[in-house]
Amino acid sequence: MKSAPPRSTACARSYASSVTNARYDAVADFYEAGWTDSYDDPATAALFALLGPVAELRVLDVACGHGRITRELARRGARVTAVDVSDALLEKARVVEAREPLGIEYVHADISSSPRLSGPFDAATCSFGLSDIDDLDGAISSVARALAPGGRFVCSLLHPCFAGAGEVSGSWPARSKYSDERWWTAEGARSTLRRAVGANHRMLSTYVNTFREHGFGLDAMAEPPPPSDWAEQAPEAARFPVFLVVRCVRRPNP
Protein backbone atom coordinates (compact mmCIF):
# COMPACT_ATOMS: atom_id res chain seq x y z
CA MET A 1 0.00 0.00 0.00
CA LYS A 2 1.40 3.34 -1.00
CA SER A 3 1.95 5.71 1.90
CA ALA A 4 0.57 9.23 1.90
CA PRO A 5 2.99 11.98 0.88
CA PRO A 6 4.45 14.02 3.77
CA ARG A 7 2.73 17.29 4.57
CA SER A 8 4.60 20.55 4.44
CA THR A 9 5.16 22.24 7.81
CA ALA A 10 2.43 24.78 7.07
CA CYS A 11 -0.04 22.08 6.01
CA ALA A 12 0.81 19.97 9.05
CA ARG A 13 0.14 22.91 11.36
CA SER A 14 -3.13 23.66 9.57
CA TYR A 15 -4.20 20.03 9.96
CA ALA A 16 -3.24 19.97 13.66
CA SER A 17 -5.14 23.20 14.21
CA SER A 18 -8.31 21.85 12.62
CA VAL A 19 -8.11 18.68 14.69
CA THR A 20 -7.63 20.64 17.92
CA ASN A 21 -10.45 22.99 16.95
CA ALA A 22 -12.78 20.03 16.44
CA ARG A 23 -11.78 18.47 19.78
CA TYR A 24 -12.67 21.56 21.74
CA ASP A 25 -15.65 22.77 19.74
CA ALA A 26 -17.30 19.45 20.57
CA VAL A 27 -16.99 19.93 24.35
CA ALA A 28 -17.60 23.69 24.65
CA ASP A 29 -20.78 23.33 26.71
CA PHE A 30 -19.19 20.79 29.04
CA TYR A 31 -16.07 22.95 29.44
CA GLU A 32 -18.06 26.08 30.27
CA ALA A 33 -20.19 24.26 32.85
CA GLY A 34 -17.26 22.54 34.53
CA TRP A 35 -14.85 25.47 34.85
CA THR A 36 -16.65 28.49 36.24
CA ASP A 37 -15.36 31.91 37.31
CA SER A 38 -13.97 30.87 40.68
CA TYR A 39 -10.29 31.20 41.43
CA ASP A 40 -9.54 29.72 44.83
CA ASP A 41 -8.47 26.26 43.64
CA PRO A 42 -4.76 25.57 44.36
CA ALA A 43 -3.54 25.58 40.74
CA THR A 44 -5.28 28.84 39.78
CA ALA A 45 -4.22 30.52 43.01
CA ALA A 46 -0.60 29.53 42.31
CA LEU A 47 -0.81 30.87 38.74
CA PHE A 48 -1.97 34.30 39.91
CA ALA A 49 0.55 34.32 42.76
CA LEU A 50 3.46 33.74 40.38
CA LEU A 51 2.06 36.23 37.87
CA GLY A 52 1.85 39.01 40.44
CA PRO A 53 0.07 42.38 40.01
CA VAL A 54 -1.20 43.08 36.50
CA ALA A 55 -2.96 46.44 36.86
CA GLU A 56 -2.30 48.64 33.80
CA LEU A 57 -0.23 45.88 32.15
CA ARG A 58 -0.85 44.43 28.70
CA VAL A 59 -1.43 40.69 29.15
CA LEU A 60 -1.83 37.91 26.59
CA ASP A 61 -3.94 34.90 27.66
CA VAL A 62 -2.99 31.87 25.56
CA ALA A 63 -5.49 29.04 24.95
CA CYS A 64 -8.07 31.12 26.78
CA GLY A 65 -11.01 28.79 26.17
CA HIS A 66 -14.27 30.35 27.35
CA GLY A 67 -12.40 33.20 29.05
CA ARG A 68 -12.32 32.13 32.69
CA ILE A 69 -8.74 33.28 33.44
CA THR A 70 -9.01 36.09 30.89
CA ARG A 71 -11.85 37.77 32.77
CA GLU A 72 -10.04 37.65 36.10
CA LEU A 73 -6.97 39.24 34.52
CA ALA A 74 -9.18 42.08 33.27
CA ARG A 75 -10.91 42.40 36.65
CA ARG A 76 -7.45 42.85 38.19
CA GLY A 77 -6.84 45.80 35.92
CA ALA A 78 -4.97 44.27 32.99
CA ARG A 79 -5.58 45.17 29.36
CA VAL A 80 -6.09 41.69 27.95
CA THR A 81 -5.86 40.04 24.56
CA ALA A 82 -6.91 36.41 24.56
CA VAL A 83 -6.36 33.81 21.85
CA ASP A 84 -7.83 30.36 21.27
CA VAL A 85 -8.20 27.94 18.38
CA SER A 86 -11.77 26.94 19.27
CA ASP A 87 -14.41 29.24 17.81
CA ALA A 88 -17.13 27.59 19.93
CA LEU A 89 -15.30 28.38 23.17
CA LEU A 90 -14.51 31.92 22.06
CA GLU A 91 -18.17 32.51 21.26
CA LYS A 92 -19.01 31.69 24.88
CA ALA A 93 -16.34 34.15 26.04
CA ARG A 94 -17.70 36.86 23.75
CA VAL A 95 -21.23 36.38 25.04
CA VAL A 96 -20.01 37.10 28.58
CA GLU A 97 -17.97 40.08 27.35
CA ALA A 98 -21.05 41.55 25.64
CA ARG A 99 -23.07 41.11 28.81
CA GLU A 100 -20.38 42.31 31.23
CA PRO A 101 -17.83 44.38 29.23
CA LEU A 102 -14.25 44.27 30.51
CA GLY A 103 -12.51 45.55 27.38
CA ILE A 104 -11.12 42.13 26.41
CA GLU A 105 -9.95 41.50 22.85
CA TYR A 106 -10.62 37.89 21.81
CA VAL A 107 -8.70 36.49 18.83
CA HIS A 108 -9.64 33.28 17.01
CA ALA A 109 -6.27 31.87 15.98
CA ASP A 110 -3.79 29.04 16.43
CA ILE A 111 -1.05 30.43 18.69
CA SER A 112 1.39 27.99 17.04
CA SER A 113 0.99 29.68 13.66
CA SER A 114 2.37 33.12 14.51
CA PRO A 115 -0.94 35.04 14.62
CA ARG A 116 -0.92 38.82 14.46
CA LEU A 117 -1.39 40.04 18.00
CA SER A 118 -1.60 43.58 19.33
CA GLY A 119 1.60 43.40 21.37
CA PRO A 120 4.14 43.83 22.72
CA PHE A 121 2.78 42.43 25.98
CA ASP A 122 4.13 42.82 29.49
CA ALA A 123 3.02 39.33 30.54
CA ALA A 124 1.38 36.18 29.22
CA THR A 125 -0.56 33.36 30.85
CA CYS A 126 -1.63 29.88 29.84
CA SER A 127 -3.86 27.91 32.21
CA PHE A 128 -3.62 24.17 31.47
CA GLY A 129 -3.40 24.87 27.74
CA LEU A 130 0.09 23.80 26.71
CA SER A 131 -0.75 20.10 26.71
CA ASP A 132 -3.71 20.87 24.40
CA ILE A 133 -1.41 22.54 21.86
CA ASP A 134 0.03 20.06 19.38
CA ASP A 135 2.90 22.29 18.23
CA LEU A 136 4.63 23.36 21.45
CA ASP A 137 7.65 24.82 19.66
CA GLY A 138 5.48 27.03 17.48
CA ALA A 139 3.39 28.16 20.43
CA ILE A 140 6.31 29.16 22.65
CA SER A 141 7.96 30.90 19.71
CA SER A 142 4.80 32.99 19.21
CA VAL A 143 4.58 33.86 22.91
CA ALA A 144 8.23 34.90 22.95
CA ARG A 145 7.72 37.20 19.97
CA ALA A 146 4.62 38.73 21.55
CA LEU A 147 6.32 39.55 24.87
CA ALA A 148 8.49 42.56 25.50
CA PRO A 149 11.98 41.80 26.86
CA GLY A 150 11.64 41.19 30.58
CA GLY A 151 8.02 40.10 30.16
CA ARG A 152 6.90 37.15 32.23
CA PHE A 153 5.10 34.03 31.03
CA VAL A 154 3.23 32.00 33.65
CA CYS A 155 1.68 28.66 32.75
CA SER A 156 -0.01 25.86 34.65
CA LEU A 157 -0.25 22.24 33.57
CA LEU A 158 -0.74 18.75 34.87
CA HIS A 159 2.58 17.80 36.39
CA PRO A 160 4.55 16.16 33.55
CA CYS A 161 6.13 13.66 35.96
CA PHE A 162 2.80 12.36 37.29
CA ALA A 163 1.42 9.14 35.73
CA GLY A 164 -1.82 9.12 37.67
CA ALA A 165 -3.21 6.75 40.25
CA GLY A 166 -6.59 5.16 40.89
CA GLU A 167 -9.38 7.17 39.25
CA VAL A 168 -7.09 10.10 38.39
CA SER A 169 -5.14 10.14 35.14
CA GLY A 170 -1.94 12.14 35.19
CA SER A 171 0.13 13.57 32.36
CA TRP A 172 0.95 10.19 30.81
CA PRO A 173 -0.57 6.69 30.80
CA ALA A 174 0.38 4.64 33.84
CA ARG A 175 0.92 1.63 31.56
CA SER A 176 3.37 3.61 29.41
CA LYS A 177 6.75 5.26 30.03
CA TYR A 178 7.50 8.81 31.12
CA SER A 179 9.76 9.25 28.09
CA ASP A 180 6.99 8.25 25.64
CA GLU A 181 5.95 11.69 24.45
CA ARG A 182 2.68 11.58 22.51
CA TRP A 183 -0.94 12.59 22.38
CA TRP A 184 -3.20 10.25 24.36
CA THR A 185 -6.68 9.99 25.88
CA ALA A 186 -7.07 9.61 29.64
CA GLU A 187 -9.10 6.80 31.17
CA GLY A 188 -9.42 7.82 34.84
CA ALA A 189 -13.00 8.33 36.04
CA ARG A 190 -12.13 11.70 37.62
CA SER A 191 -10.28 12.94 34.51
CA THR A 192 -13.44 14.01 32.72
CA LEU A 193 -12.06 16.56 30.24
CA ARG A 194 -8.99 14.52 29.27
CA ARG A 195 -11.22 11.53 28.57
CA ALA A 196 -13.12 13.68 26.09
CA VAL A 197 -10.34 15.56 24.28
CA GLY A 198 -7.04 13.88 25.19
CA ALA A 199 -3.76 15.70 25.78
CA ASN A 200 -0.12 15.83 24.72
CA HIS A 201 2.34 14.37 27.19
CA ARG A 202 5.81 15.89 27.21
CA MET A 203 8.67 15.41 29.64
CA LEU A 204 9.52 18.24 32.02
CA SER A 205 12.87 18.62 30.25
CA THR A 206 11.04 19.17 26.93
CA TYR A 207 9.11 22.09 28.37
CA VAL A 208 12.15 23.65 30.05
CA ASN A 209 14.36 23.26 26.98
CA THR A 210 11.69 24.69 24.67
CA PHE A 211 11.34 27.73 26.91
CA ARG A 212 15.11 28.20 26.89
CA GLU A 213 15.40 27.79 23.12
CA HIS A 214 12.98 30.66 22.60
CA GLY A 215 14.64 33.13 24.92
CA PHE A 216 12.98 32.40 28.24
CA GLY A 217 14.76 32.01 31.55
CA LEU A 218 13.11 29.83 34.19
CA ASP A 219 12.35 32.15 37.11
CA ALA A 220 10.11 30.26 39.57
CA MET A 221 8.11 27.05 39.94
CA ALA A 222 5.28 25.89 42.19
CA GLU A 223 3.77 22.45 42.75
CA PRO A 224 0.41 23.27 44.35
CA PRO A 225 -1.39 20.47 46.17
CA PRO A 226 -4.56 18.92 44.75
CA PRO A 227 -7.92 20.16 46.08
CA SER A 228 -8.50 19.28 49.73
CA ASP A 229 -11.18 16.67 48.99
CA TRP A 230 -8.63 14.49 47.19
CA ALA A 231 -7.16 13.30 50.49
CA GLU A 232 -10.45 11.56 51.20
CA GLN A 233 -11.81 10.84 47.72
CA ALA A 234 -8.59 10.02 45.85
CA PRO A 235 -5.95 9.35 48.55
CA GLU A 236 -3.61 7.35 46.31
CA ALA A 237 -3.41 10.12 43.72
CA ALA A 238 -3.10 12.82 46.38
CA ARG A 239 0.30 11.45 47.40
CA PHE A 240 1.85 12.58 44.10
CA PRO A 241 2.51 16.00 42.56
CA VAL A 242 -0.51 16.72 40.38
CA PHE A 243 -0.03 20.31 39.16
CA LEU A 244 2.95 22.36 38.04
CA VAL A 245 3.02 26.15 37.66
CA VAL A 246 6.03 27.79 36.00
CA ARG A 247 7.11 31.41 35.62
CA CYS A 248 9.57 32.25 32.85
CA VAL A 249 11.01 35.63 31.96
CA ARG A 250 11.73 36.75 28.42
CA ARG A 251 15.44 37.50 28.24
CA PRO A 252 16.52 40.82 26.73
CA ASN A 253 17.27 40.71 23.04
CA PRO A 254 21.00 40.33 22.31
Tens digits of residue pLDDT in 117-160: 988 999 999 999 999 999 999 999 999 999 999 999 999 999 99
Query: Pairing state of beta strands 164-165 and 199-201?
Result: unpaired
d(CA 111, CA 136): 9
What pLDDT, on a 0 to 100 scale, did the predictor assign at position 190? Answer: 66
Query: Pairing state of beta strands 121-127 and 243-250?
Result: unpaired
Q: What mean pLDDT is predicted for residues 202-215?
A: 97
pLDDT over 70, % of the chain: 89
Q: Say which residue, 199 or 22, is predicted with more confidence.
A: 199
On average, the pLDDT of the chain sits at 87
Q: What are phi and psi of 216, to 5 degrees?
A: -100, 140
List, in order, residues 6 or more apart from 174 with CB less than 8 Å away: 163, 164, 165
246 beta partners: 155, 221
Domain 9-250: which CATH number of 3.40.50.150, 3.90.550.10, 3.40.50.720, 1.10.3720.10: 3.40.50.150
What pLDDT, on a 0 to 100 scale, did the predictor assign at position 242? Answer: 87
Q: Residue 2: is its pLDDT beyond 70?
A: no
Q: Residue 1: is its pLDDT beyond 80?
A: no
Is the four-CA dihedral 202, 205, 206, 210 of positive or negative sign? Answer: positive
Q: Residue 5: is its pLDDT beyond 50?
A: no
Domain-wise residue ranges, the chain? 9-250
